[in-house]
């Protein structure tokens, strides 16, 4: 049961949309406004982002996805998610390796990702991959 990662293909869209729904639920539990502030207005727009999407697979079953954008000259990881039952076995590592490899092939050497406060597992994952916090943005909502 070795995890792997590959570029997404049109047949992966249904799985990516399902996983995005799980991501949205998980993130909304951490930050109630996540869907409105960080989520997609229309998750089906992921169909247009498939060329920028990497899927993580275990035994050919899609269990994770990563969407990145390199248009700024930096590889910005916009969304990364692994199904909770597939965490801790290397799916995220495999997806990140593919995304960073593709960016490097385009001459990109900088990589950014935003992690919500309180999402310690994600912070720990990226720190384990050599990422370092450069800035903490403080925010206040009048509610």
Q: Cα–Cα distance between 50 and 60 in angstroms, integer?
A: 17
Per residue in 74-131, pLDDT (tens digit) is 999 999 999 999 999 999 999 999 999 999 999 999 898 888 777 788 888 888 888 8
In a domain? residue 80: yes
Secondary structure of residue 39 in the 3-state scheme = coil
Q: Cα–Cα distance between 131 and 94 in angstroms, integer?
A: 16
Q: What is the pLDDT of residue 125?
A: 85
Residue given tokens 């993580």 in the structure block: 56
Sign of CA dihedral 102, 59, 8, 127: negative
CATH for 75: 3.40.630.30
- Rg of the chain, C-alpha, whole Å: 15
In a domain? residue 69: yes
**Number of folded domains that form the chain:** 1
Per residue in 21-68, pLDDT (tens digit) is 999 999 999 889 889 888 899 999 999 999 999 999 999 999 999 999
Is 65 in contact with 79 (CB distance < 8 Å)? yes
Secondary structure of residue 11 in the 3-state scheme = helix
In a domain? residue 138: no
Q: Cα–Cα distance between 85 and 89 in angstroms, integer?
A: 10
In a domain? residue 77: yes
In a domain? residue 140: no
In a domain? residue 11: yes
Please give the torsion angle defined by the CA atoms of residues 65, 75, 1 and 86, in that order, rounded to the nearest 10 degrees.
-50
Q: Cα–Cα distance between 85 and 140 in angstroms, integer?
A: 34
DSSP at 116: -
Domain that holds residue 10: 3-128
């Amino acid at each position: 049961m070795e995890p792997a990662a590959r570029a997404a293909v049109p047949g992966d869209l249904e799985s990516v949309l399902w996983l995005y729904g799980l991501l949205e639920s998980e993130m909304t539990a951490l930050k109630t406004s996540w869907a409105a502030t960080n989520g997609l207005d229309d998750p089906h727009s992921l169909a247009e982002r498939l060329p920028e999407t990497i899927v993580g697979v275990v035994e050919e079953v899609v269990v994770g996805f990563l969407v990145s954008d390199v248009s700024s000259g930096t590889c910005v990881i916009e969304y990364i998610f692994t199904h909770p039952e597939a965490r801790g076995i290397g799916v995220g590592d495999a997806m990140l390796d593919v995304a960073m490899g593709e960016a490097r092939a385009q001459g990109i050497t900088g990589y950014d990702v935003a992690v919500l406060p309180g999402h310690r597992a994600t912070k720990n994952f990226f720190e384990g991959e050599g990422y370092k916090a450069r800035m903490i943005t403080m925010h206040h909502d009048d509610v």
